[in-house]
Copies of this chain bind each other. A is one copy, B any other.
Amino acid sequence: MVPKNRNNVPTPVDFTLISKALVIISGKWRLTIILLIGEDTFRFRQFREQLPSMSEKMLAGELKALVALDVLTRTVYAEVPPRVEYSLTKKGRLALPILRQLQQVGHLFN
């Protein structure tokens, strides 16, 4: 039975899309990292400052995963020492308004 919305229009549940979305926000930190950086540009140190309870290794791993998922870009400037900056990709910015609303879901169940 396909669920219908208020206007009785079937809103198909797409398991592939659900699992793709969940990969982006899965785990304890990914959604937090995405919402934290928002439209800004962050250096590793800034994430560390704002996420003191997250280990350096975990942060490096999650940033790497989010770059691989095309949510974040990682830009290295050939300076001494090299400067590394992260920001959301175009797709990441498009997803941001929806992901920000998840805090309202948290508020509902707080």
Interface residues of A, Cβ cutoff 8 Å to B: 1, 3-6, 11, 13-26, 28, 31-32, 35-40, 46, 50, 69-71, 91, 94-95, 98-110
Q: With A32-B13, A100-B11, A101-B101 in contact, is A106–B18 under 8 Å at CB?
A: yes
Known: A22-B25, A98-B101, A100-B11. A39 touches B106 (CB 8 A): no
Copies in the complex: 2
Q: Which residue of B lies closest to A49 (CB)?
A: B1
- Cβ-defined partner of A95 (8 Å) among B18, B35, B40, B105: B105
Chain B CB within 10 Å — which of A23, A101, A103 has the most?
A: A103
Q: How far is the CB of A62 from chain B (nearest CB, A)?
A: 14
From the candidates B16, B26, B39, B104, name the one contacting A6 in the complex (CB within 8 A). B39
| B28 contacts A109, C-beta separation under 8 Å | no
Point out the residue from B6, B13, B16, B35 that lies within 8 Å of A18, measured CB to CB: B35
